């Protein structure tokens, strides 16, 4: 009887469990994701549509478009409530934020032009990878195969610090700098970069077609003399003197770009940004409204970043100490996308720059990385100077803003658990971040995000090899399959090989 | 001991033949009904399980935004199969099937016999994933190793070759202006329990218009993708996130992927399946009928228990004697359970004979093929049911009867005490169940009547629907048909307006292009309104100049090739709902999608099943979308008219086979599941009511027998016939009435929930409940009154003779 009863129970269990869906996913969650992404697409399309505002071929001399910072009533800016950042703590695992990690080992840069001591800065374009090293720029396919030298600027203008980790190079003599300067950008397969020859007083905005690589000009023509060769097309001649040049340039569309001043300059001079057409026409001047008056000190505190990035092919801008994240729509619009409510933590421009002003209880933004679903924000409380770091006088908070529900989560990271060294020097080294439960890889905190929202960074093979012997990797809860994949990769790559890590 | 117990059982059965018959018949009825349901449920749960490793096979669904809604569908991007397999080691195999939107002609080389059959394209992984399709001819391995090979379904092979072998034979499809020549690479059997159906399969590279799917990121309702997971694949949340967002990896679409186990397709499909999936049902029917089977078994068991309990006093002396003679409680309990089990086993054997006899009839009723055999599932199931019912039905009387005090029995007291409450409780439960079933039966019938009689806004009578396949120049054929005086009107359309669900987004001046209105689109010609008697509210129905259309269409195609833009406006008619959703007073002259102009508004009509409300509809004439002919004929001399249509069709369209159906029959097909549900509820409801009647009959026999002396004394003392009747009937009426009040809210909730499936539903009127109550009461009264009448008319002398 007992046996029959047990069989009956087993039969019921078999029937009820037989249709279990191993691939069951939360349909509501996916539906919500679709709605969010559709909205973002709509915003991007709208922005792109406005991007393509037809500007007449020739503008009357002295003509400027009137600047427009009005809110789009259909897509009003979202408020990121930093003032309450400590309210919700969440212990994210990497798999909560990221679906996939891709490791792309890069082919070696030809030896004669590869100076490892200069460090490497990656840039992930839609279909290509760019590596900037010193003033040189190298192009790779997305599969890591080497494609071209965009700009070759051999060693001689750069000294390295003793850190010897990648990206620790410091420039000793800017006056003689020749080659790629500042950030590089791309729209589709068109690369925008700045070629600077300080000695020859040259500062050009260049474009380079990454697809065809049929670039008409190599700069300078006399390679033997200058030892520098840059490929591309000169699109615009930028100012060379400090007064006339902007600290950063970013393309706004196929035929327009903007020059943006650092806050230290714009607050003093009253000029925030200017948009130009590639042919040189000035389109719009955007004044700085948070100016500093009666500044009597001879120096300024300056370690406060501003954020200029591309989000879905739209230039986006957050100025130092400012509360508004703008999408820059050519020719004349700064469209508010996010408002940061800093509350009692807000630093006024003047108090921020003035040495000696106490901002130990105030917050400023150190990292601001926007992806389609999240914005990763690093906040610093106090002034981030070498001494304050050494004495642990500052606090560092990591927060993640979830776009879909407008909530801000603080990561449960010790605010004083940072590396004692000054972050400006050891910017690559991330001692804190989110545990990688996908494949047991490195601690995660974004270093770079491209226009598509892909997060990426570059590491050396040596670093990866070292990592797979670490406890963090060995005791990681990641799946054995993924860990084995990473281990195999680490064993396969060479120590001096660069590996681009892409988090999606 | 067993022999002794059996003798006692037989004596008891013989002594009380009415009780015995009622008990056994009740069981038999219960088991027959439950077995029928068991066969049906097992068949329903066995879908797709004929594929080995079916637990690893999933259908890929797409979740996408349509208008303001997020819609789930089986529509797939063509490149999903190849990329999923390439990107994820957890996926062992992936395949797709791409259905043709219409039937295509097929004939044996050298023969004039042409058939129409549904074609589909598959990749060479198809039979690796779906290994359950048995190859009657040819082998799975070599099935589609050549682009010119064709795999026939068993039905198609039979139509073309009869019982002759088909393998290696040459077939020709002349759907287009050229012949496509194929060699039969295999014949497969598509089991009844498959949602996949096709007439014949071609390789993705087959035919003169090969389909290159591996790199095509174009979504299509015709393409369905399936994956097979590795047996021990590690599936974690990260993998699920990754595959859900797979489309975003290759395109900028926001669509997400979902995965449905194939075994769930039959009963758990909660999305539009269009015309490609066959055999889609709903798990709710499994629950409904399993519940019904349980209720019937419960009622049959309760019957037995109540009758046994009722007989308690009659067997009290026997129990007393056995107890005094040394029988302990355990052996008495065993005896009663044995008796119960013996009757159950007997009932089961009879039930098996009945089931065997009526299973083909039941299969016909449910449109299934059942074969009666003692399968490994049936034997233990029957054994368990018989055992459970036997024990359940015997356990109460066993413990109840063996608890009698022998002293009280021999003193002549009433050992049953107040336990009559139990039998009343049973009447209550049985009639509650019976009343719920009567209400359900009436409601289902009422809803079906409502569907059949509802004014759909179109004329559905005497319309013959002829599938024609894509046909660009139907004009001459139409004209020749109209020469027959019995043909009233002829119209061509993409499909008959039975359950048409193809949607498209529309925008017009004044709204954002992103804010499209998702509307159904029906391609019809200018005679459609006349054929289906559609009423125009504003403007005119479609007017069309075919030569203008082709001329403009040619210009547009030429411009497109030259990279220029050229738009021409095609007139459309919209329905009232469309206008309402546009929010305009007069839409005549307004442009839709910059390529259509509204020339008329038609009164709303049901172009979809009544599960759906009438949505916005756009009717457009397009000679490039004609696949169906709608012929309105006179009700007289229908056979001759049909012959005329057939002959004319063959004359004009010899390349295609001829088939037809009546529009009304097609409508009925849509509600086949509900019609079947109605029949089954009616039959099983009848069984349940019969069991309840048997129960109440047994109890009334017992009640009158128990009170026969009382009745005699009352009659001697002058009690009237009506008073005796009231005395015997009132108790039952009281409990049947209470049962009605319990059953009414339960059945209201159940039926109200079921009616929510329909956009257009009948009212759950008060009279349904009143009728059910009256029926239950009437049946109970008739059953009880028969016994009461016998008792009331009996001569009191007979009853009091031995006092």
Span B281-339, pLDDT tens digits: 888 888 888 888 888 887 777 777 777 666 655 676 777 777 777 777 777 777 778 87
pLDDT at residue A161 in the model? 38
Structure tokens at B729: 């009937």
Span A177-227, pLDDT tens digits: 678 888 999 998 899 999 887 777 778 888 999 988 766 665 554 444 445
Read off the pLDDT band of B102 (50, 70, 90).
confident
Name chain B contacts of A34, Cβ cutoff 8 Å. 63-65, 70, 254-256
Is the pLDDT reported for residue B781 higher than 80?
yes
Contacts of A174 (CB under 8 A, 6+ apart): A198
Of all residues in chain B, the percent with pLDDT exceeding 70 is: 87
Is the pLDDT reported for residue B207 higher than 60?
no
Which helix (H) or strand (E) is B478 found in, with range? Answer: helix B475-482
pLDDT at residue B34 in the model? 83
pLDDT at residue B451 in the model? 78
- Verify whether the Cβ–Cβ distance B242 to A4 is below 8 Å: no
Read off the pLDDT band of A172 (50, 70, 90).
very low
Count of beta carbons in the 10 Å neighbourhood of residue B527: 19
Length of chain B: 803
pLDDT at residue A307 in the model? 95
- 3-state SS assignment for residue A94: helix
Span B22-42, pLDDT tens digits: 777 877 888 888 888 888 888
Of all residues in chain A, the percent with pLDDT exceeding 90 is: 34
- Verify whether the Cβ–Cβ distance B384 to A8 is below 8 Å: yes
- Verify whether the Cβ–Cβ distance B256 to A22 is below 8 Å: no
Chain A interface mutation, best of B71, B238, B257, B383, highest count of A Cβ atoms under 10 Å: B238
pLDDT at residue B210 in the model? 43
DSSP one-letter code for B304: H
Span A449-489, pLDDT tens digits: 999 899 999 999 999 999 999 988 998 888 888 899 999 99
pLDDT at residue A341 in the model? 93
Is the pLDDT reported for residue B86 higher than 80?
yes
Nearest CA-CA partner of B582 in B510, B501, B503, B504 = B510
pLDDT at residue B5 in the model? 66
Average pLDDT of the residues of chain A: 81
Read off the pLDDT band of B506 (50, 70, 90).
confident
pLDDT at residue B784 in the model? 81
Q: How far apart are CA B33 and CA B298, in angstroms?
A: 12
Is the pLDDT reported for residue A432 higher than 50?
yes
Name chain B contacts of A7, Cβ cutoff 8 Å. 380, 384
Span B62-83, pLDDT tens digits: 998 876 778 888 888 878 888 8
Is the pLDDT reported for residue B510 higher than 50?
yes
Average pLDDT of the residues of chain B: 81
- In chain B, which residue's Cα lies nearest the Cα of A439? B238
Read off the pLDDT band of B191 (50, 70, 90).
very high
pLDDT at residue B582 in the model? 83
* pLDDT higher at A448 or A61: A448
Cis omega (within 30 of 0) for bond into B227: no
Is the pLDDT reported for residue B134 higher than 90?
yes
Span B557-583, pLDDT tens digits: 777 666 666 666 788 999 999 998 888
Instruction: Please count the helices (runs of H) and the strands (runs of E) in chain A.
Output: 10, 28
Domain ranges of chain A: 76-503
User: Residue written as tokens 């209105």?
Assistant: B517
pLDDT at residue A500 in the model? 95
Among chain B, residues having any CB pair with chain A shorter than 8 Å are 45, 55, 58, 63-65, 70, 72, 89, 229, 234-238, 240-245, 248-249, 252, 254-256, 258-261, 263-264, 268, 380, 383-384, 387, 514
> B71: distance to nearest CA of chain A, Å?
9
Count of beta carbons in the 10 Å neighbourhood of residue A251: 23
Structure ipTM:
0.74
Chain B interface mutation, best of A4, A11, A22, highest count of B Cβ atoms under 10 Å: A22
Nearest CA-CA partner of B569 in B602, B593, B546 = B593
Read off the pLDDT band of A259 (50, 70, 90).
very high
Count of beta carbons in the 10 Å neighbourhood of residue B594: 12
Q: How far apart are CA B594 and CA A194, in angstroms?
A: 45
Q: What angle do CA A403, A407, A410 make, to 5 degrees?
A: 115
Q: How far apart are CA A480 and CA A471, in angstroms?
A: 15
**Candidate ranges A280-284, B405-409, B439-443, B533-537; pick with highest mean pLDDT:** B533-537
pLDDT at residue B411 in the model? 61
For range A391-397, the mean pLDDT: 89
- 3-state SS assignment for residue A70: coil
Which helix (H) or strand (E) is A104 found in, with range? Answer: strand A101-105
Read off the pLDDT band of A162 (50, 70, 90).
very low
Is the pLDDT reported for residue A156 higher than 80?
no
pLDDT at residue A82 in the model? 93
Contacts of B167 (CB under 8 A, 6+ apart): B137, B138, B184, B185, B186, B187
Structure tokens at A43: 């915003």
Q: Which of B89, B268, B387 sits opposite A4 (nearest CB)?
A: B387
* pLDDT higher at A152 or B47: B47
Is the pLDDT reported for residue B257 higher than 90?
yes
What pTM value is reported for the model? Answer: 0.66
For range A15-20, the mean pLDDT: 51
Antiparallel, parallel or unpaired: β B170-173 and B180-189: antiparallel
The tally of CA atoms less than 13 A away on the side-chain side of residue B702 is: 25
Name chain B contacts of A142, Cβ cutoff 8 Å. none
Q: How far apart are CA B62 and CA A75, in angstroms?
A: 28
Q: How far apart are CA B50 and CA B59, in angstroms?
A: 16
Read off the pLDDT band of B140 (50, 70, 90).
confident
Is the pLDDT reported for residue A417 higher than 90?
no
Q: Which of B63, B89, B235 sits opposite A22 (nearest CB)?
A: B235
Is the pLDDT reported for residue B278 higher than 70?
yes
For range B723-734, the mean pLDDT: 80
pLDDT at residue A356 in the model? 85
Nearest CA-CA partner of B297 in B547, B33, B511 = B33
Contacts of B535 (CB under 8 A, 6+ apart): B457, B602, B603
> B345: distance to nearest CA of chain A, Å?
17
- Verify whether the Cβ–Cβ distance A18 to B263 is below 8 Å: yes
What are residue B305's phi and psi, to 5 degrees? -60, -45
């Amino acid at each position: 009887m007992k046996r029959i009863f047990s069989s009956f129970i087993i039969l019921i269990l078999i029937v009820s469990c037989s249709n279990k869906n191993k691939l069951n996913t939360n349909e509501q969650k996916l539906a919500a994701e679709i709605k969010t992404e559709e909205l973002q697409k709509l915003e991007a399309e709208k922005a792109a549509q406005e991007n393509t505002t037809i500007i007449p071929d020739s503008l009357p001399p002295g003509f400027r478009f009137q600047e427009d910072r009005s809110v789009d009533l259909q897509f009003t800016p979202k408020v990121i409530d930093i003032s309450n950042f400590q309210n919700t703590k969440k212990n994210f695992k990497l798999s909560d934020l990221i679906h996939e990690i891709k490791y792309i080992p890069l082919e070696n840069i030809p030896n004669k032009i590869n100076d490892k001591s200069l460090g490497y800065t990656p840039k992930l374009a839609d279909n290509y990878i760019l590596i900037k090293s010193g003033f040189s720029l190298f192009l790779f396919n997305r599969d890591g195969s080497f494609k071209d030298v965009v700009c070759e600027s051999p060693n001689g203008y750069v000294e390295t610090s003793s850190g010897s980790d990648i990206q620790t190079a410091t420039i000793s003599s800017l006056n003689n700098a020749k080659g790629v300067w500042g950030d590089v950008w791309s729209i589709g397969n068109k690369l925008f970069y700045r070629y600077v020859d300080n000695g020859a007083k040259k500062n050009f905005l260049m474009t380079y077609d990454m697809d065809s690589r049929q670039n008409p000009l190599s700069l300078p023509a006399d390679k033997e003399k200058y030892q520098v060769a840059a490929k591309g097309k000169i699109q615009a001649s930028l100012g060379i003197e400090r007064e006339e040049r902007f600290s950063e340039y970013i393309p706004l569309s196929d035929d327009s770009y903007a020059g943006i001043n650092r806050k230290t300059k714009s607050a003093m001079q009253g000029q925030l940004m200017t948009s130009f057409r590639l042919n040189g026409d000035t389109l719009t001047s955007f004044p700085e409204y948070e100016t500093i008056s009666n500044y009597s000190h001879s120096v300024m505190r300056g370690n406060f970043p501003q954020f200029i990035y591309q989000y879905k092919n739209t230039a986006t801008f957050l100025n130092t100490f400012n509360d508004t994240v703008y999408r820059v729509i050519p020719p004349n619009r700064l469209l508010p996308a996010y408002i940061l409510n800093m509350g009692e933590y807000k630093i006024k421009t003047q108090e921020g720059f003035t040495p000696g002003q106490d901002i130990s209880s105030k917050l400023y933004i150190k990292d601001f990385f926007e992806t389609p679903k999240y914005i990763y924000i690093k906040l610093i409380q106090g002034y981030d100077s070498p001494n304050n770091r050494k004495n642990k006088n500052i606090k560092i908070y990591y927060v993640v803003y979830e776009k879909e529900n407008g909530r801000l989560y603080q990561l449960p990271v010790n605010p004083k658990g940072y590396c004692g060294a000054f972050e400006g020097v050891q910017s690559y080294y991330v001692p804190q971040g989110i545990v990688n439960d996908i494949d047991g890889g490195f601690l995660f905190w974004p270093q770079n995000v491209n226009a598509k929202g892909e997060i990426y960074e570059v590491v050396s093979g040596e670093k990866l090899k070292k990592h797979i012997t670490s406890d963090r990797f060995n005791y990681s809860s990641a799946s054995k399959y993924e860990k084995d994949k990473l281990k195999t990769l680490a064993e396969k790559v060479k120590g001096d090989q660069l590996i681009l890590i892409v988090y999606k | 001991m067993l022999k002794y117990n059996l003798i006692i059982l037989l004596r008891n059965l013989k002594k009380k033949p009415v009780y015995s018959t009622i008990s056994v018949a009740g069981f038999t009825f219960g088991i027959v009904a439950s077995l029928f349901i068991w066969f049906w449920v097992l068949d329903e749960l066995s879908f797709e399980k004929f594929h080995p490793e079916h637990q690893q096979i999933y259908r890929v669904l797409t979740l996408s935004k349509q208008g303001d809604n997020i819609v789930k569908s089986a529509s797939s991007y063509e490149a999903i199969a190849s990329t999923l397999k390439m990107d994820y080691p957890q996926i062992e195999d992936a395949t797709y099937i791409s259905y043709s939107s219409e039937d295509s002609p097929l004939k044996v080389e050298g023969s004039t016999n042409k058939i129409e059959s549904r074609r589909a394209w598959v990749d060479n992984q198809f039979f690796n994933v779906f290994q359950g399709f048995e190859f009657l001819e040819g082998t799975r391995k070599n099935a589609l190793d050549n682009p010119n090979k064709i795999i026939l379904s068993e039905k198609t092979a039979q139509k073309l070759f009869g019982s002759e072998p088909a393998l290696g034979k040459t077939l020709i499809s002349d759907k287009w202006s050229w012949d496509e020549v194929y060699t039969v690479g295999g014949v497969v059997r598509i089991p009844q329990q498959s949602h996949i159906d096709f007439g014949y399969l071609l390789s993705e590279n087959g035919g003169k218009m090969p389909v290159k799917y591996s790199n095509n990121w174009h979504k299509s309702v015709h393409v369905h993708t399936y994956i097979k997971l590795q047996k021990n694949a590690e599936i974690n949340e990260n993998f699920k996130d990754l595959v859900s967002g797979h489309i975003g990896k290759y395109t900028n679409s926001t669509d997400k992927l979902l995965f449905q186990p194939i075994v769930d397709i039959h009963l758990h499909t909660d999305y539009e399946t269009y015309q490609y999936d066959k055999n889609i049902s709903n798990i709710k029917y499994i629950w409904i009928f399993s519940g019904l089977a349980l209720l019937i078994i419960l009622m049959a068991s309760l019957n037995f228990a109540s009758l046994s309990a009722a007989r308690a006093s009659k067997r009290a002396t026997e129990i007393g004697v056995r107890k005094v003679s040394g029988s302990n409680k355990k052996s008495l309990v065993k005896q009663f359970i044995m008796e119960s089990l013996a009757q159950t086993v007997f009932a089961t054997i009879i039930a098996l004979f009945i089931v065997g006899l009526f299973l083909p009839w039941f299969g016909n009723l449910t449109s299934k093929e059942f074969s009666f055999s003692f399968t490994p599932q049936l034997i233990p199931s029957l054994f368990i049911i018989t055992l459970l019912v036997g024990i359940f039905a015997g356990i109460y009387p066993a413990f109840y009867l063996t608890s009698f005090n022998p002293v009280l029995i021999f003193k002549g007291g009433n050992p049953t005490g107040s336990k009559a409450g139990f039998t009343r409780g049973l009447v209550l439960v049985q009639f509650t169940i019976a009343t719920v079933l009567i209400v359900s039966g009436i409601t289902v019938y009422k809803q079906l009547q409502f569907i059949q009689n509802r004014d759909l806004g179109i004329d559905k009578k005497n319309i013959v629907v002829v599938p024609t396949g894509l046909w660009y120049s139907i004009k001459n054929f139409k004209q020749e048909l109209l020469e027959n005086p019995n043909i009233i009107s002829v119209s061509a359309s993409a499909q008959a307006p039975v359950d048409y669900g193809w949607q498209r987004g529309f925008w017009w001046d004044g709204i954002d292009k992103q804010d499209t209105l998702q509307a159904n689109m029906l391609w019809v010609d200018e005679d459609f309104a006349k054929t289906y008697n559609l009423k125009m509210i504003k403007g005119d129905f479609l007017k069309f100049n075919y030569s203008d259309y082709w001329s403009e269409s040619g210009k547009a195609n030429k411009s497109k090739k030259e990279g220029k833009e050229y738009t021409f406006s095609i007139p459309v008619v919209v329905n009232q709902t469309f206008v309402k959703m546009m929010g305009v007073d007069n839409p005549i002259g307004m442009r839709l999608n910059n390529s259509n102009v509204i020339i008329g508004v038609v009164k709303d009509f049901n172009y979809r099943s009544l599960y759906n409300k009438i949505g916005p509809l756009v009717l457009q004439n397009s000679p490039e979308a004609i696949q169906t002919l709608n012929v309105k004929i006179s009700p007289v001399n229908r056979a001759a008219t049909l012959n005329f249509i057939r002959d004319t069709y063959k004359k004009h369209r010899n390349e295609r086979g001829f088939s037809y159906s009546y529009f009304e029959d097609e409508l009925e097909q849509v509600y086949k599941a509900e019609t079947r549900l109605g029949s089954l509820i009616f039959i099983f409801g009848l069984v349940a009511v019969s069991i309840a009647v048997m129960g109440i009959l047994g109890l009334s026999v017992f009640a009158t027998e128990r009170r026969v002396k009382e009745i005699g004394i009352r009659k001697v003392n002058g009690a009237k016939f009506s008073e005796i009747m009231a005395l015997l009937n009132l108790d039952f009426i009281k409990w049947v009435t209470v049962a009605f009040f319990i059953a009414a809210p339960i059945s209201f909730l159940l039926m109200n929930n079921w009616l929510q499936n329909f956009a257009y539903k009948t009212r759950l009127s008060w009279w349904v409940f009143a009728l059910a109550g009256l029926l239950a009461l009437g049946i109970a009264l008739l059953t009880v009154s028969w016994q009461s009448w016998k008792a009331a008319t009996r001569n009191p002398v007979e009853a009091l003779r031995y006092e």
